[in-house]
């Protein structure tokens, strides 16, 4: 694209802005106090004088992008005319465009010889911001007051003077003030890095050149994005995904609807028909929902940098305030990342799979957090401890490849698995297991990636509670183009003992005691394409690798495998039995999907079938602890399977799958 800068200078400065933001990230990583932030739950941005994003970093969290310009603009509105060199501001406000209260942003104005050039912003996930539960994820919260400290735009440094009274007012309302002050200062120093780098560039190239470059890199991204979109056909696409439930309404899935329109060189998303806000923390403010749209769309164009130029092309209508994707004050939003955000990204992926089939991908596992907090009996004084854990899981199968095993969630693909040694040093929780889960990858012509199972055992503690933030216990991670679902999420307490208890996928402040063990799987990714069309040798290889069991190879793929010598991984396919098994499944699977849910429930309760049979063979959703049928949820889940899976099944194995099923508005369930 033409610019007023010469091409070499433009390219140098564009990459200098990227490098500046990445240097901010490195500063945070090396100086933070929190183990959560050290595990890379942070993002950075360089903004212009209006708060528009000039550049994001190369390793930012997907759920943060698309929100940082909102919080910069909120600070500018609040302090317009009263912003000075050396000032630093803090904000975590969901209702001003933030993601959730844990994501706390530090914002510094950048001056050069008295002229304001823009803002540097460092966002970090603080492990605790107060509220009723350790970690500030409170599923029982009826409003944001039960979730933790809401910080509107607030001055934290004034002309280089640290406002200790303000800082300690914030920190003392959390469970770990020392870490909060440390992270606060680490984030502030990261913004100082950006200030230093921009001032250095001004010294070298001149302030007017830098101001021009900040504007033109946004124009550059806009032009690149418009060129990509204009090469695609105009059209309208529809889809919807689901949050598991609204506790106040009883069982039944909560729809997040999406209509996407390509017109010329622009893309518009309409989520205005989504469900009203719900009585749990799985709501999203406008910032969190827009972030899902931006991140999902950006992943279709990986070669384009990300800044506010992208937002000129990709727009959204979230509908009126008061919905699950546009929550109004005081709706709780701590779990936005496991709720609407993840559903929005999955819906974006599905729609773009219809437009760019070569990049198609089935649903990916749901982000989850398990939080254990209490008093640490290993140390004198029994200080507070926080065991803040998230797991890797399976990504959806792709068109031409199996999904990735045990990878970070779409929430933030650079998320690190927290080192167990570090967790065990900081909290009295021992990791008892961490394994891939066989059969967790959704079956398909291409298999979903495998999830993981992690176990933790509590010891030397008192006054301890556990909370869990997840979803897709009922709206199970789905397949695409005939592919089958993965497995439900959910936590078990003392599994396999006489004290066994199924806790589900969302709960808060459950009392636990030393000696208790908690385990939970993460789902795998959904399958893509009809599982009966999967290459027989690929199924055999999966059995050899331990990814698929012999039993489910036959049930899900119709491939009959005999053990020859398992000790040396020698197995053989019975080709005649395989042909018969595949014919049998083709002849019966439509009828299985219409089977009476009560009969399925009885078979589950008596141990004849498991949860994989329920969701993959019968499309029935149960309370996985009691085995009780969830009738409304089952009806909705079966309707979803008809649209994403069953319509693509065919008796002719030569036909792969049907495209173009998303151009008609889905019928109401």
Same domain, 442 and 526: yes
Same domain, 219 and 346: no
Residue 543 has pLDDT above 80, yes or no: yes
Structure tokens given for 210 = 């830098």
H or E, element range at 605: helix 597-605
User: Which of 584, 609, 641 lies at the terminal end of a domain, its last residue?
Assistant: 584
The 10s digit of each residue's pLDDT in 354-404 is 999 999 999 999 999 999 999 999 999 889 999 989 999 999 999 999 999
Same domain, 240 and 110: no
For the residues 485-514, what does the mean pLDDT come to? 95
Where do we find the tokens 């119709």? Answer: 558
Q: Quick check: 528 and 480 in contact, CB under 8 A?
A: yes
- Residue 418: what pLDDT? 85
User: Which of 584, 599, 617 lies at the terminal end of a domain, its last residue?
Assistant: 584
Residue 190 has pLDDT above 60, yes or no: yes
Residue 440 has pLDDT above 60, yes or no: yes
Same domain, 377 and 289: yes
Same domain, 185 and 239: no
171 vs 556: CA distance, rounded Å: 52
Same domain, 20 and 72: yes
Q: Percent of the chain at pLDDT above 70?
A: 97
For the residues 552-577, what does the mean pLDDT come to? 96
606 vs 71: CA distance, rounded Å: 53
Same domain, 445 and 576: yes
Residue 478 Cα to chain centre, angstroms = 15
Residue 668 has pLDDT above 60, yes or no: no
In a domain, 611, yes or no: no
User: Which of 584, 603, 635 lies at the terminal end of a domain, its last residue?
Assistant: 584
In a domain, 2, yes or no: no
- Residue 669: what pLDDT? 46
Same domain, 274 and 126: no
Same domain, 391 and 530: yes
The 10s digit of each residue's pLDDT in 378-387 is 999 889 999 9
For the residues 532-539, what does the mean pLDDT come to? 97
- 271 — phi, psi (to 5°)? -115, 20
The 10s digit of each residue's pLDDT in 296-347 is 999 999 999 999 999 999 999 999 999 999 999 999 999 999 999 999 999 9
For the residues 260-269, what does the mean pLDDT come to? 98
Residue 192 has pLDDT above 70, yes or no: yes
In a domain, 446, yes or no: yes
In a domain, 324, yes or no: yes
* DSSP structural state of residue 118: E
Mean pLDDT of the chain: 95
CA atoms within 13 Å, Cβ hemisphere of 335: 36
Burial class (CB in 10 A: 0-12, 13-18, 19+), 128: buried
H or E, element range at 589: helix 575-592
For the residues 429-438, what does the mean pLDDT come to? 96
- Residue 139: what pLDDT? 87
Domain count, the chain: 2
Same domain, 370 and 513: yes
Residue 417 has pLDDT above 90, yes or no: no
Same domain, 451 and 560: yes
Structure tokens given for 177 = 């003030």
In a domain, 643, yes or no: no
In a domain, 613, yes or no: no
In a domain, 77, yes or no: yes
In a domain, 229, yes or no: no
The 10s digit of each residue's pLDDT in 452-497 is 999 999 999 999 999 999 999 999 999 999 999 999 999 999 999 9
Residue 150 has pLDDT above 60, yes or no: yes
Same domain, 186 and 253: no
The 10s digit of each residue's pLDDT in 613-626 is 999 999 999 999 99
Which domain does 111 fall in, by range? Answer: 7-224
């Amino acid at each position: 694209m033409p610019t007023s800068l010469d091409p070499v200078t433009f390219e140098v400065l564009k990459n200098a802005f990227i490098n500046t933001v990445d240097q901010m990230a490195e500063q945070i990583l090396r100086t933070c106090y929190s183990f959560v932030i050290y595990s890379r739950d942070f993002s950075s941005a360089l903004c212009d004088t209006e708060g528009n994003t000039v550049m994001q970093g190369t390793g930012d969290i997907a759920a943060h992008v698309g929100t940082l310009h909102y919080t910069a603009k909120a600070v500018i509105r609040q302090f317009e005319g009263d912003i000075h060199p050396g000032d630093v501001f803090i904000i975590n406000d969901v209702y001003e465009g933030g993601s959730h209260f844990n994501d706390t942003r530090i914002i510094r104005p950048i001056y050069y010889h008295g002229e304001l050039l823009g803002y540097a912003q460092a966002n970090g996930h603080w492990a605790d911001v107060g509220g009723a539960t350790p970690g500030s994820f409170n599923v029982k919260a009826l409003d944001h007051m039960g979730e933790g400290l809401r910080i509107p735009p607030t001055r934290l440094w004034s002309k280089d003077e640290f406002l200790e009274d303000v800082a300690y007012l914030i920190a003392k309302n959390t469970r770990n003030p020392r870490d909060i002050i440390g992270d606060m200062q680490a984030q502030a120093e990261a913004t100082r890095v950006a200030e230093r780098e921009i001032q250095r560039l001004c010294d070298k190239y001149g302030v007017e050149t830098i101001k021009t470059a900040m504007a033109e890199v946004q124009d550059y991204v806009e032009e690149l994005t418009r060129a990509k979109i204009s090469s695609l056909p105009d059209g309208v696409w529809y889809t919807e995904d689901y949050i598991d439930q609204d506790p106040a309404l009883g069982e039944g899935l909560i729809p997040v609807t999406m209509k996407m329109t390509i017109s010329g060189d622009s893309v518009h998303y309409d989520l205005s028909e989504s469900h009203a806000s719900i009585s749990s923390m799985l709501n999203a403010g406008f910032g969190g929902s827009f972030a899902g749209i931006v991140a999902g769309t950006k992943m279709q164009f990986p070669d384009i940098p990300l800044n506010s130029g992208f937002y000129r092309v990709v727009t959204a209508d979230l509908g009126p305030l008061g919905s699950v994707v546009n929550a109004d004050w005081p709706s709780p939003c701590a779990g936005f990342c496991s709720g609407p955000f993840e559903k929005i990204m999955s819906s974006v992926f599905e729609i773009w799979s219809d437009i760019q089939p070569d990049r198609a991908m089935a649903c990916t596992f749901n982000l989850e957090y398990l939080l254990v907090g209490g008093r640490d009996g290993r140390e004198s004084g029994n200080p507070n401890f926080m065991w803040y854990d998230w797991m890797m899981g399976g990504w959806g199968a792709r068109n031409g490849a199996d999904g990735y095993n045990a990878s970070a969630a779409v929430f933030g693909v650079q998320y690190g698995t927290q080192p167990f040694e570090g967790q065990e040093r900081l909290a009295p929780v021992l990791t008892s297991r961490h394994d891939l889960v066989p059969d967790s990858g959704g079956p398909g012509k291409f298999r979903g990636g495998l999830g993981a199972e992690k176990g933790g055992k509590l010891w030397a503690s008192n006054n301890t509670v556990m909370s869990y933030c997840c979803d897709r216990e009922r709206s199970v991670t789905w397949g695409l183009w005939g592919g089958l679902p993965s497995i439900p999420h959910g936590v078990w307490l003392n599994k396999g003992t006489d004290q066994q208890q199924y806790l589900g996928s969302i709960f808060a402040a459950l009392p636990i005691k030393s000696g208790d063990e908690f385990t939970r799987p993460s789902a795998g990714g959904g399958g893509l394409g009809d599982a009966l069309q999967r290459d027989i040798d690929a199924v055999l290889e999966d059995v050899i690798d331990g990814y698929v069991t012999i039993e489910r190879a036959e049930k899900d793929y119709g491939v009959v495998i005999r053990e020859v010598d398992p000790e040396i991984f020698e197995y053989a396919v019975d080709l005649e039995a395989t042909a018969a098994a595949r014919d049998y499944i083709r002849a019966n699977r439509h009828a299985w999907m219409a089977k009476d849910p009560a009969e399925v429930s009885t078979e589950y309760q008596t141990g004849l079938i498991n949860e994989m049979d329920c969701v993959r063979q019968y499309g029935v959703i149960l309370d996985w602890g009691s085995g009780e049928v969830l009738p409304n949820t089952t009806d909705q889940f079966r309707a979803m399977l008809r649209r994403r899976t069953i319509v693509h099944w065919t008796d002719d194995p030569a036909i792969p799958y049907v495209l173009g099923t998303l151009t008609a508005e889905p019928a109401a369930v």
